[in-house]
Structure 1
Amino acid sequence: SQQTFLQDSFLSTLKMSIQTPPTLLELAAKRLLRDQALAITALEYLPAELFPYLFVPAYHGGHHYQLLKTLAQAWPFTVLPLGVLMHLPPDHAPTRAVGLKAVFDALDVLLAQEVRPRRCKLRVLDLRNTGANFWDMWLGVSMENCSPKGPVTVHSSSPKMKHPLAPLEVFLDLDFNERNRDEFFMHIIQWAQQREGLLHLCCKALRISGVPFQRVRRVLDRVQLDCIQEVDVNCTWDLPTLGTFALYLGQMSNLQRLCLPHIKLLAEEQEQEKQQSFSQFLSQMLRLRHLQELHMHSPSFLRDHLDQMLRCLQTPLDLLCLTYCERLTHSDLTHLFQCPNLRQLKILHLCGLSLGDFSLEPLRALLEAVAPTLQGLGLDKCGMADSQVEAILPALSRCHQLRDFTISMNNFPGATVEKLLRHTTGLHSLEFELYPIPLECYGTQGTVNQERLALIQAELTGTLRELGQPRTIHLATKHFRHRKFYKDMEPVMCPCSDPA
């Protein structure tokens, strides 16, 4: 109606009238952007605080090549976090090409000079999706869809690396996914190689998701692999592909975090070929002397051989995550829990292990050993029974640094959940707890009976009140994909929406 339209127009006008007025820096930047020649001439005298206000709109405008080049040549900060701007809309290939060319041409000028310009403090060009806090701090705006990393500081190469620190460092993440960025990576790599000795290209992260390894090899053959500190492979490979990748992995001598892919064992593979690929993988794992975090998804290829891999660990791990490991044997699990290099773990996540008929004495001993350091423990979908929970309760109650504890998708009665609550009540660092909805809450069709659940909630709420420690707990259905959570808020438990 006309009345509604007038009301909306009035509210819109009112909202605009009470918005925060632009700052003097914003007004000055807008004026300079209208006259590129004036902005370039004035750069020598402009305050450093104005540079970000000029750089961001000039980059996204896509037609301020000369201004961007001059801004980069006189950049008054040690880091230019360009990568985060490349991940923010509106950004497209032509805009990115203009922005990159301007910055690279500026760097060529700087590298050719024996004496840097007076104002230029640039030491790092960061092409990763990091550095949002830098722009947020100067511009006072939120950078959405960017990596939630901390403030940008001057990055340095690992002190363990053999090469000297170059006068200028360029940081680039190798992120291979369905979006074809191979040519972009090759362009950066070739540009850096042509300026070898004047700058150092540092690729700290390698991520592979859903692309053939052949595409990845072409890039890995051209980069300095000892810079890589993080590898995350989210693919399904066969064992020969893992063996080939291992030849690159062994050169990543400063690797700290490794996420291995799901390995599919092919029936047509010869046993000799399998053994050769596996041995090649193990021989390269021995070269990783700084590994701190190890993630393995469905490592069926390690069945009856897990002990061989564990012996390859050169240093104590901070984090171990194993998911969907049903095929691991009792011998594998025993070797796992008795591995000396797991005695200082901060995070232990086990999902999908078959612990139902396994003696938990080795796991109990491991929990006792890591009790002083353990901050996260996940025992989800491990087929644990009430008696096995009893076995680990004393060790669990001594993990006083524990912040996250999940034991969902196990078949427990309400009494077992209550025991867990009682034994964890002294763990004052706990921030997140996830337990399974008790067995008695399920109907014949496997669905949750809400009336029975309400009774269990009331009983558990009474237990929490009796313990006298304010806390929030979550209950999840045994079917993770249809999970629902229930919270103890004040401390009354009530249903809430699924955050997944």
Structure 2
Amino acid sequence: MIEEKHYFVTTLYYYCSCFVILMFVTPQILCFLSVLFCFVFFSFLFFFFSFSTYRSPKLRVLDLRQDAGCKTVCPEINTNSTICFRSCAHSEHSIFKIEGQESLSSSKSEAQPSRLPMELIVDISLDGTLRERNFFALLQNKVEQSLGSLHLCCRDLQINNLCECRHALSHLDLKCVDHLAVDESPLTEVTKLLSHTVQLDSLSLSKIACRSLNGRTFRNFITQLSRMDHLKELSLSSFCLTDHLETVLRELSTDLEFLYLPFCGLSYSDFKFLSECSQVNHLKLLNVNNNPIYWEDCEPFYYLLQNVSSTLQHLKICHCFLTDSTISVLIPALTRCSQLRVLHFYSNQITMRMLMRILELLTPLKELKQVIYPIPVHCYGRWHFQGSLDRQKVEDVQRQLNLMLQEAERSDMNWITYSD
């Protein structure tokens, strides 16, 4: 048994080493060889855990997600239990459900299954590329060969153009998905997809087509949102919600931690609702890029920042038409954000005098480490566009800010800028 395990680990290490070496070849060859590697890897893995019927394999859950922050750990709640409590808990095909049923029937029959179930956890991106299609076809083939013993559990699913991915989606168990991202798709199709999910932690929608925010399609979408009682992250990018943000957020039953609303056409009433919305009072990240914040919007946005001052860590207010007068109203609320770590407010028309004042007032925020600031208006020519930018003036601004940071003993704070 020990020799077999050693052989498996050695062989797996060999294939992984070869795959790392292949990363230095051309992208075309890499695409082909990466698919070939996946085929060899899965074939070897499945053979190793299915050739023996007289003993139970140790490996039950294999996590192939690339995110280093994703970890699947089975706590030793019960040393006599073979169930992994970090496996998929919502799908009828998960080993959590299958082995739970088998343990109940074990007292009635001592017969052991010829092949114990195994769970494969992956992140899948349905982007229409050849590499993606080949990889997904390989996964599908291995699931079919397993005759039901291999459960494919996709935790993070990214879809580009939902209408072109219907066939692939028919082979996925959407009850496993906890992070879902959909781009460039009709809202009707998105709503149908959401109806098959069970426990989403994160939902990201970008460039979703919707004819009317007052029609049945939008109401059905809101109905699906209202049943998401575990949602912590919501991203609605390029999703025109002018005067309708309240309709979306008021139905949420949980407090959001991450809220992305770029290119949403937010109005005064939308910002006013955000300042009064209890579901966003504990935000860690707020992104309202590319939404104009005019003078009349300052007051509700000020109260919004004040409400999240004890939890907010990331704030993005770029391309918001901020001026000296508007941002001067927001500064007192910003200085109260004691947990703020990242601030992006580039591409706003701010003077050098205001920029220096902002730096002086933000240096006491000890958690704030990264700031991407706007290029001051004096660095441009008569017209405020890329071709009129004076690079020497930009360098002078950076030098002045670095000197101020040094005098404030905040060398740990990084202030940078870039032009669009």
> Is TM-score (shorter-chain normalized) higher than 0.5?
yes
Match of 1:259 in 2: 204
Rounded to whole Å, the distance in 1 between the matches of 2:331 and 2:301 is 11
What does the per-residue CA deviation read over 1:167-191, in whole Å, with 9 as the maximum and x for residues that have no partner? 5212132310132445753664575
Q: 1:247 aligns with which of 192, 199, 205?
A: 192
Answering whether residue 308 of structure 2 is matched by residue 370 of structure 1, we say yes
Report % sequence identity: 27
Q: CA RMSD in A?
A: 3.2
Answering whether residue 292 of structure 2 is matched by residue 350 of structure 1, we say no
**In the superposition, relative to structure 1, how do residues 197 and 95 fare at CA in structure 2: closer, same or farther (>3 Å)?**
closer
**In the superposition, relative to structure 1, how do residues 165 and 355 fare at CA in structure 2: closer, same or farther (>3 Å)?**
same
Q: Map 1:322-333; keep pairs closer than 5 Å.
A: 322-325=261-264, 327-333=265-271
Q: Map 1:114-193; keep pairs closer than 5 Å.
A: 115-116=55-56, 120-126=57-63, 128-130=64-66, 147-149=67-69, 153-154=73-74, 156-157=86-87, 164-166=96-98, 167-180=117-130, 181-182=132-133, 184-185=135-136, 188-189=139-140, 192=143
Deviation of 1:355 after TM superposition, in Å, equals 0.4
Contact 1:405 1:434 in 2 (8 A): yes
What does the per-residue CA deviation read over 1:139-163, in whole Å, with 9 as the maximum and x for residues that have no partner? xxxxxxxx54466645723557776
**In the superposition, relative to structure 1, how do residues 464 and 51 fare at CA in structure 2: closer, same or farther (>3 Å)?**
same
Q: 1:315 aligns with which of 245, 254, 267?
A: 254
Rounded to whole Å, the distance in 1 between the matches of 2:402 and 2:13 is 53
Rounded to whole Å, the distance in 2 between the matches of 1:236 and 1:385 is 33
Match of 2:107 in 1: none
Q: 2:347 aligns with which of 409, 415, 424?
A: 409
- Unmatched tracts of structure 2, length 5 or more: 20-28, 75-83, 99-116
Deviation of 1:236 after TM superposition, in Å, equals 2.1
Give the length in aligned residue pairs: 377
- RCO higher in 1 or 2 (8 Å CA, sep ≥ 6)? 2
Match of 1:52 in 2: 9
Deviation of 1:309 after TM superposition, in Å, equals 0.7
Q: 1:278 aligns with which of 184, 193, 218?
A: 218
Deviation of 1:259 after TM superposition, in Å, equals 1.0
Rounded to whole Å, the distance in 2 between the matches of 1:250 and 1:244 is 10
Rounded to whole Å, the distance in 2 between the matches of 1:192 and 1:278 is 36
Rounded to whole Å, the distance in 1 between the matches of 2:143 and 2:302 is 52
Rounded to whole Å, the distance in 1 between the matches of 2:71 and 2:300 is 42
Contact 1:437 1:475 in 2 (8 A): no
Q: 1:202 aligns with which of 153, 176, 191?
A: 153
Match of 1:227 in 2: 176
Per the alignment, in what secondary structure is the counterpart of residue 387 of structure 1? helix
Deviation of 1:123 after TM superposition, in Å, equals 1.4
Q: 1:469 aligns with which of 392, 410, 415?
A: 410
**TM-score w.r.t. structure 2 length?**
0.78
Match of 1:288 in 2: 228
Contact 2:371 2:414 in 1 (8 A): yes
Deviation of 1:202 after TM superposition, in Å, equals 1.5
**In the superposition, relative to structure 1, how do residues 99 and 452 fare at CA in structure 2: closer, same or farther (>3 Å)?**
closer
Deviation of 1:475 after TM superposition, in Å, equals 3.8
Contact 1:250 1:285 in 2 (8 A): no
Q: Which has the larger radius of gyration?
A: 1
**In the superposition, relative to structure 1, how do residues 187 and 384 fare at CA in structure 2: closer, same or farther (>3 Å)?**
same
